[in-house]
Amino acid sequence: MGGAGGVGEGRGRGGGGRRWRAVMAAGDGDVKLGTLGSGSESSSDGSSESPGGAGAAAEGGGWAAAVLALLTGGGEMLLNVALVALVLLGAYRLWVRWGRRGLGSGAGAGEESPAASLPRMKKRDFSLEQLRQYDGSRTPRILLAVNGKVFDVTKGSKFYGPAGPYGIFAGRDASRGLATFCLDKDALRDEYDDLSDLNAVQMESVREWEMQFKEKYDYVGRLLKPGEEPSEYTDEEDTKDHNKQD
């Protein structure tokens, strides 16, 4: 019996999982019952039972005991499986319930977000000083510039707002930071940045970022160079540009 237990234990270690340990436990029970139900057991009066006659009855009793024990062991396994299934079912129901609530609150939050409550910004040009007013802390509207173009990124406030991962770019020219993958103050310039020291690869990256922002956010005007005069945009031009973006 000890040898049988050893085999079961070896399987448990080799499998390394709970399934093998369950099989090991069930296997040990089967081995013990098989030994008790063998046709070579001695009777209480000392006589040895043969495979026939009373021996067959003993063997039948041994098999019955083996089946009973198997059902008992199997019942424990089924009970464990049932408990696991109940736990998983409860977790799924909780996930569905709270997931739906989360989606509902998310939709509600989106309806009340600054981007939803603000009207579309009319097209105009910005100096660096004017751009810095739209950093999300002084006004709900958030703007940033990429490659000389200014974009309204208010609807992405979770990224570009004061607490967002890219909040450092709010109200600033983000071109250098995006080109060099730098998210600290070294990527910002207090004076107009002509990007003349960037290499060809970095400038290509800036242009790619510009295209991505155009696809996702409203283009609201140009970032003015020092001494450059802002353009006057008509309502027709403004509407035309917005329709292109839509």
CA distances from 232 to 82, 167, 223, 237 (A): 73, 30, 14, 10
pTM of the full structure: 0.53
**Consecutive H or E run containing 219:** strand 218-222
Which residues, in sequence order, are bridge partners of residue 150? 145, 221
The single residue listed with the structure tokens 């296997």 is 27
Dump strand ranges (E) for 70-207: 143-146, 149-152
Check residue 186 and give its pLDDT.
87
Ordered structural domains, the chain, with CATH: 128-222 (3.10.120.10)
Tokens of 92: 């799924």
**pLDDT tens for each residue of the chain, 246 residues long:** 444 444 344 444 444 444 433 333 344 443 333 333 344 434 444 444 344 444 444 445 565 555 455 555 666 677 677 777 777 777 666 655 554 444 333 433 444 466 668 999 999 999 999 999 999 998 999 999 999 999 999 999 999 999 999 999 999 999 999 999 999 988 899 999 999 999 999 999 999 999 999 999 999 999 999 999 999 998 776 666 555 555
pLDDT score of 181? 93
Is beta strand 218-222 parallel, antiparallel or unpaired with respect to 149-152?
antiparallel
| Residue 187 burial (10 A CB sphere; 0-12, 13-18, 19+) | buried
171 burial type by CB count under 10 A (0-12 exposed, 13-18 middle, 19+ buried): buried
Two structure tokens written together for 239: 């509407």
CA 223 to CA 173: how far, in whole Å?
8
Residues 113, 157 contacting (CB under 8 angstroms): yes
Question: What token pair was written down for 50?
Answer: 């043969």
